[in-house]
Every structure is written in C-alpha cells, then in structure tokens.
A and B are shown apart, each in its own frame.
Chain A
Amino acid sequence: NAGVTQTPKFRVLKTGQSMTLLCAQDMNHEYMYWYRQDPGMGLRLIHYSVGEGTTAKGEVPDGYNVSRLKKQNFLLGLESAAPSQTSVYFCASSSPGTSKNNEQFFGPGTRLTVL
C-alpha cells in the first residue's frame, strides 16, 4: 500500500496563478484533510471531508477550495495564489470506528512557493 500520496511535491507559482494539489489514499478511509504547516504556527486545518461528495471548512479556508468526487481523492485548489499561501501543505486521512480510530495518516507534503 502506498498510503497517502500527494502531487506535486514542489511548486512555484506567481501571484494570481491557480493550481490544484492532489491527495490520494489507498486505505479506503472515510475522512480526509488538508493542512498547511507554517513556522511557529503548527498545522492548521484548511478543509476536510467526512465522505465522498462532502466537504467542510476548517480553521483557515479562505483562498482555497476543495472537492471529493471520489472516496480515495481529495483535491485542494488555489484559484488566485497569493504570497501568504506560501507554505507546506499536508494531506491526511483517517477511518473512524477501527482499531486506528481517529489516528490520521499523513502524506509527504507539497512545498508551495508563491512569488
């Protein structure tokens, strides 16, 4: 099993450009999450999904959109990138009601720089 994978690993954007980050998991997990990691601020939740076709806002959702059309994929979109969105983005997934209840499994991260 690959676990949680993210593409791309690195990306540099210019202000105003758009892009989509892809997260995929092969563990049949119901829940998926997008976080951003910034120095001194820990991980902050952007959006999350508790099932295929559902999404919800997290702590810092502004400037981002998400979609969960398939259970195994969770896409994070930036419609008009801003320098404040320079960060490392992590995807995670989890499955409630199992022996790993509420444990989140993380992807390797995407380092995004917005110039």
Chain B
Amino acid sequence: AQRVTQPEKLLSVFKGAPVELKCNYSYSGSPELFWYVQYSRQRLQLLLRHISRESIKGFTADLNKGETSFHLKKPFAQEEDSAMYYCALFNDYKLSFGAGTTVTVRA
C-alpha cells in the first residue's frame, strides 16, 4: 500500500531564508505526486505537481525516485508562505496525504 510521510509537523524560518519541506513516499509503481497548500481560513488548493515540473510562487519540488522523495523548496521564504502544506500521492482514483507541515515565516 502507498504511504506518504512528512517528518516535520512544524517548520519555522525567517523571512528571506530558504525553506525545505520534506516528503517521502512508499509506492511500488511510478508515482504521481502533488503538493497542496492551505492558507489560514482558506480551502486546500493545489500548489504544484511533479509531472508539470513547474515553479509556483517560487516553490519547486523534484521527484527523486532513488530516495523516494518529493521535497518542496523555496530559496527565499516570504511571510505570505505561512500555511499548512500537504504532500500527496495519487493512485487508483485516490489521493493519499501526508500528515502535513505547518510553516511559519517570521519577519
């Protein structure tokens, strides 16, 4: 069965510092991975997906099949990046979510 692990529940960084959110997965096939974000008092929304290989709001995520990881990175964190971030793996119609990481960016 697939599994998504986000080892950090909380992450606090200063504005302008780099931020990296870790995501590891276990899955026997070729994974389809996503990062979702939930800003305060807002609904969950897609941030990016690995197949697009795009940068959204300065965030990037690279799939590393050897390490079974899909870490989310941003070189210079902004205060508006404070949110809950979820890594998710798609399989068989469904998404499996990690436990989430709450990011706080301090001025």
Contact = CB atoms under 8 A, between A and B. Distances in A.
A binds B: yes
Nearest to B4: A42
Given A43-B86, A90-B44, A109-B43, A104 B95 contact: yes
Contact of B94 (A33, A90, A106, A109): A33
A45 interface: yes
Contacts of B90: 102
Nearest to B45: A106
Contacts of A108: 43
Nearest to B99: A42
Nearest to A49: B93
Contacts of A48: 93-94
A42 B95 contact: no
A39 to B, nearest CB: 9
Interface string B1-31: 0000010010000000000000000000000
Interface range for A:
20 to 34
B39 to A, nearest CB: 12
A45 B34 CA distance: 16
A43 B86 CA distance: 9
Given A40-B9, A42-B98, A50-B93, A102 B44 contact: no
B46 A103 contact: yes
Given A102-B32, A107-B43, A40 B95 contact: no
27 contacts: A4-B43, A31-B93, A33-B94, A33-B95, A35-B97, A40-B9, A40-B99, A41-B99, A42-B6, A42-B86, A42-B97, A42-B99, A43-B86, A44-B97, A45-B96, A48-B93, A50-B93, A58-B94, A90-B43, A92-B44, A102-B90, A103-B46, A104-B46, A106-B43, A106-B44, A106-B45, A107-B43
